[in-house]
Copies of this chain bind each other. A is one copy, B any other.
């Protein structure tokens, strides 16, 4: 019998992406969908692309009967998940796609998100959801914090290199081109078609992007001392996709070996031949990650480039991969679909 799934915050892009994937998942069935301001509406009215799917009507969270739910995906905005998850029955497993449980240190949470955490007890027990690096902890967890999509992309490039000791931790620069769906379905002037299409710009300059909290936490933990990187995101006129381009100091060949070794048994992370360039076109709509390594013309300098889909492997696909682990389902179940091209 398939596992019963509830999705809280189903009216955003990550909620819709969860639904898209679960519709062909052999072991999951959606039994509840919430969207407070749209309670009572059909999902196909909020997202007409789901018009022909058979789905529960949108409800308010307090109207959901969690007794019959095996796992909850919480796709609510940042800062709203904490109290809601805190109030869920303890026997329900939870994957939170917001930023609320990503940072283990409450001071770090307060620094990056500007407010004290509402559920510090839960925060301490949440497992960071980067599947490849926390697989066993996720399998055993009750609460998993989905990672930032940018943070995921950067860590796929850098974490195995820090673990292998083949790069200088103090000389890491990440430039990251991001598709517009990463900003969600919010009504902001800078997300209008007329403002996004046909141009590009950097944002969150100078080390102010909140995903730096995750980089700091994870990289420092690997190295065993505080590590700070430089990180700049760029808004690119595309709907989906992240291309993280990382400049590091190290030998291209050694880097390639370290990454190929780290990911050799991974079903979704693929290291390209040395010198090949990944493209977001080649992973769009899928749970796959492409990793490229290039040695620079200058000895001792190299670049690692990672492509993934922010809504899939960067968010909802990652969440389902984690849910599979938490529910004892085959890890790749429901995630075998190919990218869409063109």
Interface size of A as a range? 35 or more
Please tell me if the beta carbons of B177 and A200 are within 8 angstroms of each other in the complex: yes
Find the residue from A180, A281, A283 having the highest chain B CB count within 10 A.
Answer: A281
- Counted per complex, copies of this chain come to 4
* Given known contacts A49-B282, A177-B234, A20 and B340 CB-to-CB distance under 8 angstroms: yes
* Given known contacts A199-B281, A230-B296, A337-B337, A51 and B241 CB-to-CB distance under 8 angstroms: no
Which residues in B have their C-beta under 8 angstroms from that of A50?
A: 338
Please tell me if the beta carbons of B49 and A338 are within 8 angstroms of each other in the complex: yes
Interface flag for A277 (CB, 8 Å): yes
Please tell me if the beta carbons of B270 and A206 are within 8 angstroms of each other in the complex: no
Could you mark each residue 166-199 of chain A with 1 if its beta carbon is under 8 Å from any beta carbon of chain B, else 0? 0000000101010011000101110111111111
Please tell me if the beta carbons of B206 and A342 are within 8 angstroms of each other in the complex: no
Shortest A64–chain B CB gap in Å is 23
Interface flag for A56 (CB, 8 Å): no
Interface flag for A336 (CB, 8 Å): yes
Please tell me if the beta carbons of A207 and B296 are within 8 angstroms of each other in the complex: yes
Shortest A132–chain B CB gap in Å is 15
Interface flag for A275 (CB, 8 Å): yes
Interface flag for A109 (CB, 8 Å): no
Please tell me if the beta carbons of B247 and A281 are within 8 angstroms of each other in the complex: no
Which residues in B have their C-beta under 8 angstroms from that of A290?
A: 48, 51
What are the nearest 9 A-B pairs in CB distance? A207-B297, A199-B281, A201-B279, A194-B342, A193-B196, A49-B341, A187-B187, A49-B282, A199-B280
* Apart from A49-B282, A173-B247: 17 A-B pairs, beta carbons within 8 A: A20-B339, A24-B24, A47-B341, A48-B282, A48-B290, A49-B341, A175-B175, A177-B236, A187-B187, A193-B193, A193-B195, A201-B243, A202-B277, A205-B292, A207-B298, A230-B296, A240-B342
